């Protein structure tokens, strides 16, 4: 399919949902993609089956804290520079662009880069959601090196990182991104088409578009959240889903710390029963507990949506008094393997409990 301007709003809305609160506001990425598409024409979204095994595929992302991007907007030159520099280092011209995470702004900016380069975007990513750290992708879990990596700020100052593993790459990039103001362009995980097919979560950009469209169609029919759930149940990954809580935000702690948005959101049930939900986030929502009992935990998705419109709510836009519904969603099977949980399971975020799939939590 050609990714035209009229499709971007649904893509962005679905990406915000899959971002589980993080990944940055897709609205900003949508504006950048819209400008590039209007100037250079729409890029093509291709399936994994359409990708040649020897094609050079490069992820392009923004790294930092989502709160920063409210004030520090993106221009795209940094991303183009990062990609060009990585091509120079590897000696291979890009044949396709891929998103590292389908959630948030990083699902949309590849369309802008692809439009300017005249390249296709692969309908896949490395998470099927969003995560806060560079090593937390299926590319790394299943053997693709994260470096060389190129990080670039808005002045086109750049640093090339070579590290012995993906976690070390993350540590260095996070320190550099912090010095750059916690908002920088990044290209890393240079891959072949074969590596993408072996390690990526397939079809996720199409699913993001379907999610965004389901919310809009649901508004026309009077129940966007039920429309969203009905669509999710038809998908290959996100079919275990349910509303976990219906409440208003009564307490919120949010700070930029260590290069991330970190905090806790507390909600009180609207039914008057006195139940409370606590959500802990690090850029993305990681765990949701009701009255102290875990209801959904990473890598499964904790998604916050406006209770009337179904519009996804990101962590940087959470506000006291907001009335929202919390939806728990299953992650892709490739995200639930022992190898994957060793990289982005609950204990990797400091939670002293094992992962339990949402469908197994009473």
**pLDDT tens-digit readout, 67-95:** 666 677 677 789 999 999 999 999 999 99
Residue 208 included in any domain: no
* CA 277/CA 331 separation, integer angstroms: 21
Residue 224 included in any domain: no
The two three-digit tokens of residue 64, written as one number = 């930092």
Q: Are residues 149 and 295 in the same domain?
A: no
The two three-digit tokens of residue 310, written as one number = 């179904």
Across 70-196, where does the E strand assignment appear? 96-98, 121-122, 124-125, 149-152, 158-161, 183-187, 191-192
Residue 301 included in any domain: yes
Range of the domain at 285: 238-360
Q: Are residues 178 and 327 in the same domain?
A: no
**pLDDT surpassing 90 at residue 163:** yes
Residue 78 included in any domain: yes
Using the 3D structure, point to which of 154, 177, 202 is the last residue of a domain: 202
Domain CATH for 309: 2.40.390.10
22 versus 320: which is more confidently predicted? Answer: 320
Q: Is the pTM of this model over 0.75?
A: yes
Q: What is the mean pLDDT of residues 175-199?
A: 94
Q: Are residues 195 and 328 in the same domain?
A: no
Residue 221 included in any domain: no
Q: Are residues 141 and 283 in the same domain?
A: no
Q: What is the residue-averaged pLDDT of the chain?
A: 94
**CA-closest candidate to residue 286, choices 311, 306, 260:** 260
Q: Are residues 167 and 308 in the same domain?
A: no
Residue 82 included in any domain: yes
Q: What per-residue confidence (pLDDT) applies to 32?
A: 87
Q: Are residues 119 and 254 in the same domain?
A: no
Residue with tokens 């490739």: 334
Number of structural domains, the chain? 2
Strands 191-192 and 201-202: unpaired
Residue 320 included in any domain: yes
Q: Are residues 177 and 255 in the same domain?
A: no
CA torsion sign, 247 to 249 to 253 to 255? positive
Domain CATH for 86: 3.40.1610.10
The number of angstroms, rounded, from the C-alpha of 275 to the middle of its chain's C-alpha atoms is 30
Dmax of the chain from CA atoms? 62
**Residue 296 pairs with which residues in a beta bridge?**
288
Residue 274 included in any domain: yes
pLDDT in tens, 18-36: 999 887 777 878 888 999 9
Q: Are residues 262 and 141 in the same domain?
A: no
Q: Are residues 140 and 269 in the same domain?
A: no
Q: Are residues 248 and 192 in the same domain?
A: no
Looking at the chain, the whole-number percentage of residues with pLDDT higher than 90 is: 84
Q: Are residues 166 and 39 in the same domain?
A: yes
Minimum mean pLDDT range among 70-79, 93-102, 276-285? 70-79
Looking at the chain, the whole-number percentage of residues with pLDDT higher than 70 is: 98
Q: Are residues 20 and 96 in the same domain?
A: yes
pLDDT interval class at 66 (50, 70, 90): low
**pLDDT surpassing 80 at residue 298:** yes
Q: What per-residue confidence (pLDDT) applies to 362?
A: 59
Minimum mean pLDDT range among 123-137, 251-265, 312-326? 251-265
**CA-closest candidate to residue 297, choices 279, 321, 324:** 279
């Amino acid at each position: 399919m050609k990714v035209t301007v009229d499709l971007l709003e649904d893509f962005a809305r679905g990406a915000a949902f899959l971002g589980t609160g993080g990944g940055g506001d897709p609205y900003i990425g949508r504006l950048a993609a819209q400008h590039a598409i209007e100037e250079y024409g729409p890029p093509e979204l291709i399936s994994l089956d359409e990708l040649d095994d020897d094609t050079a595929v490069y992820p392009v992302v923004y790294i930092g804290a989502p709160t920063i991007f409210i004030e520090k907007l993106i221009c795209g030159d940094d991303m183009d520079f990062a990609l060009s520099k990585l091509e120079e280092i590897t000696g291979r011209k890009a044949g396709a662009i891929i998103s590292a995470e389908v959630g948030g702004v990083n699902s949309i900016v590849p369309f802008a880069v692809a439009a300017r380069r005249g390249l296709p975007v692969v309908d896949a990513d490395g998470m099927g959601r969003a995560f806060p750290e560079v090593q937390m992708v299926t590319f790394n879990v299943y053997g693709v090196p994260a470096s060389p990596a190129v990080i670039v700020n808005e002045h086109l100052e750049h640093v090339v990182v070579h590290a012995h593993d993906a976690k070390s790459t993350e540590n260095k990039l996070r320190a550099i991104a912090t010095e750059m103001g916690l908002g920088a362009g990044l290209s890393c995980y240079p891959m072949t088409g074969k590596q993408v097919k072996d390690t990526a979560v397939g079809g996720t950009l199409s699913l993001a578009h379907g999610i965004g469209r389901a919310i809009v169609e649901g508004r026309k029919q009077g129940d966007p959240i039920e429309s969203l759930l009905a669509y999710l149940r038809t998908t290959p990954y996100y079919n275990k889903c349910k509303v976990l809580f219906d409440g208003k935000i009564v307490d919120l702690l949010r700070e930029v710390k260590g290069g991330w948005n970190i905090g806790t959101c507390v909600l009180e049930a609207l039914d008057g029963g006195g139940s409370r939900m606590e959500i802990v986030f690090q850029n993305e929502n990681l765990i949701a507990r009701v009255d102290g009992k875990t209801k959904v935990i990473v890598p499964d998705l904790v998604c916050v949506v406006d209770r009337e419109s179904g519009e996804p709510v990101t962590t940087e836009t959470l506000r006291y008094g907001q009335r929202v519904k919390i939806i728990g969603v299953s992650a892709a099977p490739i995200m639930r393997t022992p190898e994957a949980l060793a990289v982005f399971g609950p204990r990797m975020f400091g939670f002293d409990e094992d992962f339990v799939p949402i469908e197994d939590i009473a």
